[in-house]
Structure formats: C-alpha cells, structure tokens
Amino acid sequence: MNIAKGELVRVVAGKYKGLLMTVVMTDGTSVYVSDGRHRKLEKPKKLNPKHVVRLETVLEKEVSEYTNRFLWKELATKCPS
C-alpha cells in the first residue's frame, strides 16, 4: 500500500480507531499521522499502514505549511461527525 503525505486516512485499529487523520510523514514500514487535536504535528502517531484505510482526499497545502489549527479545521469540514 503506497500512502503519500497529505492524504486523509481513517484509523481502523488501536486507541484512535475511527478517527480521521492526515499522513504527515512516511518511511518504509510506517506512516505518521496527526489530526491537530488528539495528536499534534509536533508528535505524530506512528502507525502500521495495515491499521489505516486510505480515503480519496488529499489536502491542498504542502505538508510543511500545516499547522495544528489548519489540520483540525480541515478534518472537521471533511468529516463533521
């Protein structure tokens, strides 16, 4: 599974199960996700790619331009629940 920076994902396992998050970094075996509220950009959550489901949405801004407030507001508009 090839997950890119800026993609929206839904966590399907663990403490954050069901939450919508944004991929802020990847390495060969893990993805690092943040939502700006529960997991801040300064300390993203490391997840196994098997534990997330990719959504078709990619955020418009470059990852380096993200702020916690931006992520939180964007995710709230993408999924208001």
Q: Name the nearest CA neighbour of 24 among 55, 47, 56, 50.
A: 47
Contact predicate 4/62, CB 8 Å: no
Q: Name the nearest CA neighbour of 33 among 2, 57, 4.
A: 4
- Selected from 3.20.20.70, 2.30.30.30, 3.40.720.10, 3.30.360.10, the CATH number assigned to the domain covering 7-78 reads 2.30.30.30
Q: What is the pLDDT of residue 42?
A: 93
pLDDT digits (tens, 9 = 90+) for 10-64: 999 999 999 999 999 999 899 999 999 999 999 999 999 999 999 988 888 888 8
The structure's pTM equals 0.88
